[in-house]
Structure 1
Amino acid sequence: MLCRSVAVELEVAKELNKLLYSVESAYLNIVREVVEYAVTNNVTSATQLQGLFYSRYRLEYPGLHSHLIIQAIRQAVQIAKSFMERKKRGLASKPYPEVKAVSIRFDETAWNYKEFAKSVAPVRLSLPLLGERREVWLRLHKRFWQYWWRVLNGEARLASTLIIKRRMNKWYAIFIFKLKPREEEPKSVIAFDINENTVAVGRIDIETTVGKVVGWNRRYATPQLYEIRTDFGRLARRYEKIRNAIIERLKPHFALPSGNYVNVTNTREYRKRVRMLREGRRKDGRIKHVANELTKTPAIIVTEDLGEKPQESMIDGIEKNELRHCIKQTPFKALVRAVEDKALERGSKLFHVSAYRNSRICPVHFVRLRETNDWHILYCPLGHYVHRDYASVMNMAWKLTPESWTKCVWWGLRKRMDWREHEGKSNTTIPYTIVQYLHAMLKTFTASEQWPAMLARAKPMNHHRIQNEGGGEETSHTLLRQGGGQ
């Protein structure tokens, strides 16, 4: 199942705003106290902590709904477990985590989940706030209605947990939809290759390709090759300069008597300024744009199997620090995960193929390409130039075919497997005469400019077609009688 969260703003009056603030402060105090106790005493069992704190908080906050106390304790357990794992890795220096903000979680029994899920057009919520229930109206938007239409069609299901969160003095209700992966008939084959600043794409439309082959007797189909600009490398260079400028500006404030400086990157002032740069959000926006572009229509999507840490293998042998930093900052895995997730939602299928020498083989003649002065342009020994990125996406598409292992990596396999000693020898299990017959038959029936890639091509049987070929007004029966008389 795929999960999608949709935030909807609440219409909050002044009195309701005070109630939500009161519930949030009580919820936050519970989470902070339970987290501190769990980390100090090394207790990570939600059942054990609930037995210790539930009755106490029921007396301390009599107007708070009982299920909100249980949800606060469970949320504190999750925070404590995450902090303890980070502390084991040496990523946390404080004795316990500082919880600055929380999201209030209402389970199925705390809000009107059943009534909301049964409604055709839900427009309001019923929330228990400090001893009384309040009706809260929603400001619904297009994205919510898109997923709600899927719920009505049976393609999705609304999760029972409701999340209320405050952001910039506005309150939002976060709904979680669980979607079923779609099953659609693919309309195209798409191969994409991720680079530092671009994503190379090769697209073959299945329907139009078949029509062209039948109509124009083409033997090969030319794919659509284009690039999507991401500028991840340029973005990394820009933010690196900005971060270095921030460090130089803050250095005088963290000077030691010995003349050295404190590590500025570990200070609160540095983190506060870097957080305002929104580097992560810009990367996420570009990732979502590429994923949306590649999955507009149902397709068979092909990409390289990058492995666990693709950046480490890419920077191996690169001495320039700036280029190494740009490659490290390129989100290869995040982009592939986003495409895979969006493909399941829209009915596409993602396949991973081997990354073995995709950009070093000519996709037309299947021979090794030679280097030129330009890193992106390679030279084929048979007399033409090939763009490295487009060769990569075309060879990925070739690897989906049954004969891909002989075409794409034939020249590498001969070297690695010592096939030279077997050259010229025949297979004893298959008679040589049958091999000759198959070879002659395949050579004869190869598609050409005159003969399209079809099962058969019959001669014209209509007498009007014979007239166009010089047959005159005579029919086939007349011709047969004349031939028989002679």
Structure 2
Amino acid sequence: MSKLLKTLKRTVVLEGWVNSAGRRALREVFEAYRAMLQEMVEYAVEHNASQATLHRVFYSRFREEYPWLPTRVIKGCYRDAVRRARSFLRLKKKGLAQGDKPVVKNITVTYSDSQDWRLGSGVVELRTHNGWISIHYRSHKQLRRYLYSGWSLSSELRVKLDGKRVLLYLTFKKDFEVSYNPNNVIAVDVNENNVTLAVFKNRALYEVYRVETSLGKMVIAYSERRRRIAEGRSTKDRGVRRALRRLRERGRKMDIIYKVARFIEELAYANSAVVVVGDVRKGKRKLASRAGSNRLRHRIHQWSVSKLVEVLDNKPIHVVEVPEAYSSSRDPFSGEPIKGYAPSVIRVAVRGRRVRVAKVVLRLARLSNGLTLDRDVVGAVNIGLKHLTADGSPVALGSTGPHEVRVKLVNPHQGPTPPTELKVIETN
């Protein structure tokens, strides 16, 4: 068994409020921060400056101009400026930037040292030029879980003004010792409407899971709903804005993503396995650049495939990314190119609160050794092989391995319950 030390971070958002004197002090801090940030961002874009350059150019002047600001707030400002400048230059290179220079709209002030703030029971005290101010907050279950379950509170506090509210962002850290068997792999192939998992034990293919997410169908449905709501009306119309706010697309998609990640995490624990995912972010950019219409490009950007990888990275499991090139066009057992796939539709009965019929769309290919595989299964198996073998040689089934593997259909809302089996890999 191999071991890996992994440090995870969690952010807890608190909703707070403050009296009039405290709000006035916070506004003055935010106004000074905004003025400094705008000047630093423009300089960083023009000169492609680093944090060290901004510190050398601006620190002494801003210390004289704002002697009442905490030193660490100024240092956090030029870190923020460099991040915004690099993001703007990236967008400008792709032709997506608006205007010749970035405009600072929303800001979050960072207090990077616990000397300038402290967390109490129901209150966060913050150092300002008018002394210490008290920001009262509403406690919740998530905060108590991280405070009393071995997580350590970071020295960084981020503060944001949102109307009459004060949003406080606390960061918690915890070190995990991850144990895994390098010969056991959970290969993850992320697709538009499903996530296919190929489980390898002792370097041989053991079983395959197909988690039906229907994220692609959800994106299309919400896009059509937004079109109907705004048809013939301006999106600035009050009624249109209210109707668009009621849509819960992001919440529903994130719910599915977290449930899929939880299922993969439990599989990794049960098999002491490495989780191997394709480089979906690079593949997503290529697909978006080749998209022939705005609607298709919108669907690609809304798949949330990169978000699933991000959520898996924040789990106490070992995650490895490998290239996805040719993962669906090569026979995983012989390495030969696959000539083509034939569409197939299978209907299965899914038992939940009530029995319903689910339609599963497959793309099947007959391989050189007589096996019939689905395209998504081929992709997942090849992703696992790219990690297990340095040259990607076809060793999916060992000499004493099974001659048939059943794909198990999983509903992400039911969790890791006994799934429906679907035989799409079969022998002659």
Question: Which interval holds the TM-score relative to the shorter structure?
Answer: 0.5 to 0.7
**Greater radius of gyration (CA):** 1
Deviations 1:336-383 (A, max 9, x none): 3332x12xx413343526543446526599895763343612234555
Question: Which one of the candidate residues 160, 174, 196 is aligned to 1:165?
Answer: 160
Three-state SS of the structure 2 residue aligned to 1:7 is strand
Give 5+ residue unaligned stretches, structure 1. 59-63, 210-219, 252-263, 410-445, 450-486
CA contact (8 A) 2:188 2:197 kept: yes
- What letter is aligned with 1:55? E
Distance 1:306 1:159 in 2: 31
Residue equivalent to 2:199: 203
Question: Which one of the candidate residues 390, 399, 402 is aligned to 2:377?
Answer: 390
Q: Does 1:231 align with 2:240?
A: no
Distance 1:240 1:73 in 2: 38
Deviations 1:444-485 (A, max 9, x none): xx7699xxxxxxxxxxxxxxxxxxxxxxxxxxxxxxxxxxxx
CA contact (8 A) 1:363 1:395 kept: no
Distance 2:285 2:42 in 1: 38
Residue equivalent to 1:25: 27
CA contact (8 A) 1:305 1:355 kept: no
Deviations 1:182-240 (A, max 9, x none): 3224596312211111111233578xx9xxxxxxxxxx8741x3322333322332343
State the 1:181 CA deviation: 4.9
The 1:337/1:100 distance shift into structure 2, 3 A limit, reads closer
- What letter is aligned with 1:171? V
The 1:408/1:57 distance shift into structure 2, 3 A limit, reads same
Q: Does 1:303 align with 2:277?
A: yes
Deviations 1:292-349 (A, max 9, x none): 3212325311233457344525986x8787656534543333433332x12xx41334
Residue equivalent to 2:351: none
- What letter is aligned with 1:347? I
Residue equivalent to 1:132: 131
Distance 2:304 2:36 in 1: 36
Q: Does 1:336 align with 2:309?
A: yes
Q: Does 1:241 align with 2:245?
A: no
Residue equivalent to 2:143: 144
Distance 1:336 1:396 in 2: 14
Q: Does 1:290 align with 2:260?
A: yes
Distance 1:184 1:315 in 2: 39
- What letter is aligned with 2:372? Y
Residue equivalent to 1:372: 342
Q: Does 1:3 align with 2:5?
A: no
Question: Which one of the candidate residues 187, 192, 196 is aligned to 2:188?
Answer: 192
Distance 1:101 1:275 in 2: 25
Residue equivalent to 1:177: 172
Residue equivalent to 1:457: none
The 1:313/1:398 distance shift into structure 2, 3 A limit, reads same
RMSD of the alignment, in Å? 4.7
Give matches, 1:318-329, under 5 Å.
325-329=298-302
Is the helix fraction higher in 1 or 2?
1
Q: Does 1:348 align with 2:331?
A: no
Three-state SS of the structure 2 residue aligned to 1:203 is strand
Give matches, 1:74-93, under 5 Å.
74=78, 77-78=81-82, 81=85, 85=89, 88-89=92-93, 91-93=97-99
The 1:274/1:103 distance shift into structure 2, 3 A limit, reads farther
Three-state SS of the structure 2 residue aligned to 1:159 is strand
CA contact (8 A) 2:277 2:319 kept: no
Residue equivalent to 2:60: 51
Distance 2:243 2:109 in 1: 24
Distance 2:159 2:401 in 1: 66
After TM superposition, the structure 1 stretch with the greater mean CA deviation from structure 2, 385-394 or 360-369, is 360-369
Is the strand fraction higher in 1 or 2?
2
- What letter is aligned with 2:310? R
Deviations 1:99-148 (A, max 9, x none): 35544636332124xxx6xxxx9765432355333555654444334444
Three-state SS of the structure 2 residue aligned to 1:109 is helix
State the aligned residue count.
362
State the 1:46 CA deviation: 4.0
Paired-residue identity, %: 20
CA contact (8 A) 2:276 2:320 kept: yes
Give 5+ residue unaligned stretches, structure 2. 1-6, 345-361, 403-428
